[in-house]
Amino acid sequence: MSGRTLLSFAAEDTRFNFRVAGAAIRDGHVLVDREDDDDYCMLPGGRVEMGETTELALAREMAEELAMPVGLGPLLFTYESLYGRAGERYHELGFVYGIELPDDVRPGGAQPFLVREDEGHLLQFSWLPLEGPALIAAQLKPSWLPGRLRTHSGRTEHVVFIEGQGIVSQP
C-alpha cells in the first residue's frame, strides 16, 4: 500500500472512516461480503483514498475485491454513522452506489458463491434475500442498512445514524 493514503485515522478515542460501497440488488437479493475474521457482513467496498472521488474509489474497490466487470449505478445513500464496535468508537461518512454485475452473476447455488483474498483477508461474497431475517441474522452493517435497502425510494437519501438513538435525520 505504499503511496496510498486511506481516509481512515484515529483522533482522540474515535476512528474516522470515509467509506464507499456498492449495492448489487438482483432477484430480491443483495450481495454482501464477510471478511474471515468478522462476525458481521457489509456491502462490498472499502476506504476512499486521498485524492479519489467516491466513484473512482468504488471502481477500484470492486476491481480489487470482485475481479469482474462492475457497472456503477446511481448514488443510493450518503450517510453519517456514529457507532461502537469491538470496544472502539467510530465516526463514519459513507457513500453507497447501486452497482451492476455481469448477467450470469445471480443469486442461487452454494453460498458464498465467491471467495477472494484481499490485503491478507479472505472475503466471502454471498447473496442474501432482502426480505425476511437473513440480513439481520448476518449482521449487515451499518445496522440501519437492511431496513433502508428494503424501503429505498429510488432517490438519493442522506441518513444520519447515532448508535443508541437510531436514525436521527433523513432529509
DSSP, residue by residue, 11-24: ETTEEEEEEEEEE-
Among 101, 146, 147, 151, which residue's Cα sits nearest to residue 128?
A: 146
pLDDT at 171 over 60: no
Residue 141 belongs to a domain? yes
Residue 37 belongs to a domain? yes
Residue 121 belongs to a domain? yes
Residue 45 belongs to a domain? yes
Predicted confidence (pLDDT) per residue in 80-102, tens digit: 999 998 789 999 999 999 999 99
Predicted confidence (pLDDT) per residue in 123-167, tens digit: 999 999 999 999 999 999 999 999 999 999 899 999 999 998 988
For residue 25, the enclosing domain spans 8-100+111-169
Residue 106 belongs to a domain? no
Are 55 and 99 contacting, i.e. CB atoms less than 8 angstroms apart? no
Confidence of residue 120 (pLDDT cuts 50, 70, 90): confident
Residue whose grid cell is 461502537: 84
Q: Rounded to a whole number, what is the largest CA-CA distance in the chain?
A: 47
Is residue 152 classed as helix, strand or coil in its secondary structure? Answer: coil
Confidence of residue 118 (pLDDT cuts 50, 70, 90): confident
Are 135 and 30 contacting, i.e. CB atoms less than 8 angstroms apart? yes
Specify the pLDDT at position 1.
Answer: 46
Task: Provide the 10 A C-beta neighbour count for residue 29.
Answer: 18
Residue 2 belongs to a domain? no
Predicted confidence (pLDDT) per residue in 101-113, tens digit: 999 999 998 999 9
Specify the pLDDT at position 23.
Answer: 98
In total, how many domains does the chain have? Answer: 1
Specify the pLDDT at position 170.
Answer: 61
Specify the pLDDT at position 2.
Answer: 54
Residue 1 belongs to a domain? no
Predicted confidence (pLDDT) per residue in 2-15, tens digit: 578 999 999 999 99
pTM value is: 0.93
Residues with Cβ within 8 Å of 108's Cβ and at least 6 positions away in sequence, in order, are 27, 127
Residue 105 belongs to a domain? no
Query: CATH number for the domain including 39?
Result: 3.90.79.10
